[in-house]
Amino acid sequence: MRKIVIFASLIFVIGVVSFSSHPIIGPTEALGQSVRKVLMIPREGYSQDADLMIKMEVGVMTLLLKNAGFDVDIATTSGYPCIGPTQKIEKIFRLSQINLNDYAGIIMPCMAVGMFPGPPVAPLAMEAAKKCLADGRPVAAAANSSIILAEAGLLKGKKYAFATDPLKVTERWKTTDPRFAGGIYSGPGVVQDGKIITSGACPQLEKVLGLQNGTVELTQKFIAAIGPK
C-alpha cells in the first residue's frame, strides 16, 4: 500500500515536470551562490518502453533529486533528445561537454535498454563513473545500467544488484554475462557497497517480471550517499 501511495504521488507531481528541462535556477544561483548538481547518464540504445522509463524512472529520479535540493543535468555520448510516443527529454548535454568536477555524483537510469549482449557501452559513460568513484563521489546504477559499471570493471569485489545472477543460466536467461565476473551478486533489490549503489529492477522489469521497482529506494540511497553539503 505504501508503495502505491508513493508512486501515485510521484505520478501526480511528475505531470507538471517539463522534460524540455533547462535546469531550474533557484534563489541561491541567482545570488551567485553554488547549488549542488547531480549528473544523470541514461543508458543509450533501443528502449522497450521509452514512455514508461522517461516518466517513471527519469521523472521519478529527477523529482526526488530536486526535492532534495539538487539540480539535475542529463548527458549522454550523443546528446540527442530521448523521445517516446508521448514523452520526451529534450535538454540533454553531450558527455564530452561535461566537467565532472561540477557534480556531487552520477545516477544512471536503465531506460529499459536490453540486457546481454545489449548495445555497446559508451566509453565516456565508463570514464565518468570511474572518475566519480575515484574522487569519492557516489554512482548509482538502475537495473541494466549496471552493465556500464560491470564493463568498466567497477563491480569486481563489490556487491551489486541485478534482476537475476548474470553469471548463471536459468530457464528464462539462457546466456551469461562475463562482464560481471569478479562481482558479488546480491539479489534483485537495492544494494549499496561503499559509493556504488545498484538496483535490480526498473519500472519495465516490474511490469514484465513483477520484480519490485527500485527507482525510489535507489535514488534515496544515492542522495544519502552524497551526504550533507
Which residue positions in the chain have pLDDT lower than 50?
Answer: 1-33
Distances (CA, A) of 86 to 44, 54, 89, 143: 18, 10, 11, 23
Among candidate residues 76, 73, 49, 48, the one with its CA nearest the CA of residue 61? 73
Rg, the chain, Cα only: 17
Q: Looking at residue 174, what is its pLDDT?
A: 83
Q: Distance between alpha carbon 202 and the CA centroid of its chain, in Å?
A: 9
Q: Distance between alpha carbon 229 and the CA centroid of its chain, in Å?
A: 22
The span from the CA of 122 to the CA of 106, in Å, is 15
Domain residue ranges in the chain: 2-226
142-160 burial code (b ≥16 CB/10 A, e <16)? bbbbbbbbbbbebbeebbb
Q: Looking at residue 173, what is its pLDDT?
A: 77
**pLDDT tens-digit readout, 38-50:** 999 999 989 999 9
The span from the CA of 137 to the CA of 194, in Å, is 10
DSSP class of residue 182 equals T
What predicted TM-score, i.e. pTM, was given to this entire model? 0.85
The CATH H-level (homologous superfamily) assignment of domain 2-226 is Class I glutamine amidotransferase (GATase) domain (3.40.50.880)
Q: Looking at residue 115, what is its pLDDT?
A: 72
Q: Looking at residue 19, what is its pLDDT?
A: 41
Contacts of 145 (CB under 8 A, 6+ apart): 41, 42, 43, 108, 109, 110, 111, 113
